[in-house]
């Protein structure tokens, strides 16, 4: 059994630790936890790790957020990955900081990375783990907000949510989406 976990974000040091790159942060933590090493691959960086007999392909696209679908579609095809074994991890301004929401399908919710994935895969029927980053920004300042780092007072909530995200991804590949959604979505 193999799975493709895709963290959405933008490449480059200027985007490290920003809200928009929380998908990268989750996969960085998971790769570290499971002893993975990042390698440069077409359209991104990948770490391949194992967990309880499952092979997890962790992908951080380098196509920038608005073209993320290109990397997802390419690596799904390369690995002959079934759609049910793909999870996309993304930031979500509609959720409070640290709140997680795992769904097996859904709309893009106005998120450009998910719009790109939807268009490239030609479906909305893939799992996505939405990571709440809050929405405390003035009207018209959304881009500036998501491209800024979390303030220090949110660090503990973010770190706890990264840990819960990792646990959810590990559960997804061993226990399946149903039980995992119940666990992840019930957490405060």
**5-53: per-residue pLDDT in tens?**
999 999 999 999 999 999 999 999 999 999 999 999 999 999 999 999 9
Residue 48 token pair: 């391949």
Ramachandran angles phi, psi of 151, nearest 5°: -70, 155
Average pLDDT over residues 155-162: 97
Q: Report domain extents, the chain.
A: 2-186
The model carries a pTM of 0.96
- 84-115 residue pLDDT tens: 999 999 999 999 999 999 999 999 999 999 99
CATH superfamily of domain region 2-186: Peptidyl-tRNA hydrolase (3.40.50.1470)
- Residue 119: count other Cβ atoms within 10 Å of its Cβ: 14
Residue 187 token pair: 């957490």
Which residues, listed in sequence order, are joined to residue 46 by a DSSP beta bridge?
A: 39, 59
Q: Report how far apart the first and last C-alpha atoms of the chain are (Å, whole number).
A: 31
Of 20, 43, 45, 75, the catalytic one is 20
- 187: pLDDT confidence band, cut at 50, 70 and 90? confident
Catalytic-residue membership of 45: no
């Amino acid at each position: 059994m193999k799975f493709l976990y895709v963290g959405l974000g933008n490449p480059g040091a200027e985007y490290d630790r920003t809200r928009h790159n929380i998908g990268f942060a989750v996969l960085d933590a998971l790769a570290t936890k499971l002893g993975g090493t990042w390698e440069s691959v077409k359209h991104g960086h990948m770490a391949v790790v194992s967990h309880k007999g499952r092979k997890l392909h962790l992908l951080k696209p380098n196509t920038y957020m608005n073209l993320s679908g290109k990397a997802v579609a390419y690596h799904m095809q390369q690995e002959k990955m079934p759609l049910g074994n793909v999870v996309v991890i993304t930031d979500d301004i509609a959720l409070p900081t640290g709140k997680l929401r795992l769904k097996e399908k859904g709309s893009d919710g106005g998120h450009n990375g998910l719009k790109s994935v939807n268009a490239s895969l030609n479906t909305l029927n893939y799992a996505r783990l939405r990571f709440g980053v809050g929405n405390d920004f003035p009207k018209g300042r959304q881009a500036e907000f998501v491209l800024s780092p979390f303030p220090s007072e949110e660090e503990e909530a973010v770190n706890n949510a990264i840990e819960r995200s990792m646990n959810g991804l590990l559960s997804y590949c061993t226990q399946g989406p149903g039980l995992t959604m119940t666990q992840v979505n019930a957490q405060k």
